[in-house]
């Protein structure tokens, strides 16, 4: 199960990178929280870019049989789209939101298992 989940979150990262996401990072937070094992964070360059990433990630997640829990029909222009996929959480953020919420610092006890080479 762990190998499958690890492979799944890596595939999400690749979907994001294929859609020109910046600064894709995966943190393993197993044991640090009760609601998941991985946090995926990616930066989009505009509301349109984030909306496109959201659509492609959603397609991928559903195609592999995972669920998106508590889907919200938020306005994509708010700077942060979150998918709760049970064992993993996907955060699509604009630069300003990513700097402000600084999830990497908040989860600094987690193990970084992946960082993309595409930086902003």
Model confidence at 30: pLDDT above 70: yes
Q: What is the pLDDT of residue 75?
A: 59
76 CB burial (10 A radius; 0-12, 13-18, 19+):
buried
Quick one: which of 13, 44, 90 has its CA closest to 82? 90
Q: What is the pLDDT of residue 77?
A: 60
pTM, full prediction: 0.90
Mean pLDDT of 79-104: 95
Residue 37: other Cβ atoms inside 10 A: 20
Q: What is the pLDDT of residue 58?
A: 95
What is the C-alpha separation between 46 and 4, in angstroms, rounded?
32
Instruction: Categorize the per-residue pLDDT at 35 as very low, low, confident or very high, splitting at 50, 70 and 90.
Output: confident
* Region 2-115: CATH code: 3.30.460.10
Q: What is the pLDDT of residue 73?
A: 57
Q: What is the pLDDT of residue 1?
A: 60
Instruction: Categorize the per-residue pLDDT at 74 as very low, low, confident or very high, splitting at 50, 70 and 90.
Output: low
Quick: pLDDT tens for 10-25. Answer: 999 999 999 999 999 9
Model confidence at 119: pLDDT above 90: no
pLDDT > 90: percent of the chain: 78
């Amino acid at each position: 199960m762990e190998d499958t989940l690890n492979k799944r979150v890596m595939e999400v990262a690749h979907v994001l990178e294929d859609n020109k996401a910046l600064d894709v990072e995966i943190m393993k937070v197993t044991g640090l929280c009760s609601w998941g094992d991985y946090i995926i964070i990616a930066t989009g360059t505009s509301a349109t870019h984030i909306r496109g990433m959201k659509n492609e990630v959603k397609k991928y997640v559903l195609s592999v049989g995972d669920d998106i829990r508590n889907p919200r029909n938020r306005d994509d222009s708010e700077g942060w789209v979150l998918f709760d996929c049970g064992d993993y959480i996907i955060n699509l953020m604009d630069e300003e939101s990513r700097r402000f919420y600084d999830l990497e610092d908040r989860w600094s006890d987690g193990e970084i298992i992946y960082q993309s080479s595409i930086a902003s």
